[in-house]
Amino acid sequence: MGSRAIYGVASRCVAMFLLCTGVTACVSQDNQLLAGPDAKQPAPKVEDAAFFASDDYVRMGKVYFRNESYGNAAQSFQKAVEVTPNDAEAWLGLAASYDRLRRFDLADKAYERALKLGANNAAMLNNAGYSQLLRGNLASARRLLLRAYEIEPNNPYIQNNLKLLGESEKSVKRTGN
């Protein structure tokens, strides 16, 4: 395609944009009337009630987490909690990312917030318990994992973490050396 053809396409696009923004209504590609500010019809609803501002960040955080890019996952989840502070799933993702980065100080704060938002959520209790297990805080891990087990006794992740906890308690602990 030559430069004249590109210029012609671009100028037609600009002309259509100016035409649509200069009149009270415009037609979309599927011939639906889009109301403008002076039109008698109400403007189309742009925002979906089931959509949260944090959804895209949470989705990206999960992708990064699955790909073991925990730093990027933490950044995405951090952005999610900044735009939607009451998003328990975003806080949980942030906490799990911090666990993988071994930033337990930050993980504790994120788990605390997640648990406030979803105190009786088995997945949150399980993850918080596993976080405590990673650090060797076995009493705290047991308390959280048993609370999760009470809610979902058939959950295989909770069952597995309780098994890991039992094995951890049986292992030999050495001091010094």
For residue 23 the two structure tokens come to: 């009149």
Give which of 50, 43, 78, 48 is closest to 64, Cα–Cα.
78
Can you point out the beta strands (E) in 15-171? 25-27, 33-35
Q: What is the pLDDT of residue 158?
A: 96
Which one is predicted more confidently, 57 or 177? 57
DSSP 136: T
Q: What is the pLDDT of residue 118?
A: 82
Can you point out the beta strands (E) in the chain? 25-27, 33-35
Q: What is the pLDDT of residue 50?
A: 58
Other C-beta atoms lying within 10 Å of the C-beta of residue 171: 7
Give which of 168, 157, 166, 165 is closest to 125, Cα–Cα.
157
- As a whole number, mean pLDDT of residues 150-159 equals 96
d(CA 86, CA 123): 17
Judge whether residue 124 has pLDDT over 80: yes
Q: How far is CA 124 from CA 7, 110, 166, in A?
A: 56, 11, 20
- As a whole number, mean pLDDT of residues 160-174 equals 81
Judge whether residue 130 has pLDDT over 90: yes
| pLDDT tens digit sequence for 51-84 | 677 889 999 999 999 999 999 999 999 999 999 9
Q: What is the pLDDT of residue 78?
A: 96
Helix (H, G, I), strand (E, B) or coil at 26: strand
For the chain, what are the domain ranges?
3-30, 120-169
| pLDDT tens digit sequence for 32-47 | 434 444 445 554 444 4
The model's pTM is 0.66
Residue 110: alpha-carbon gap to chain centroid: 13
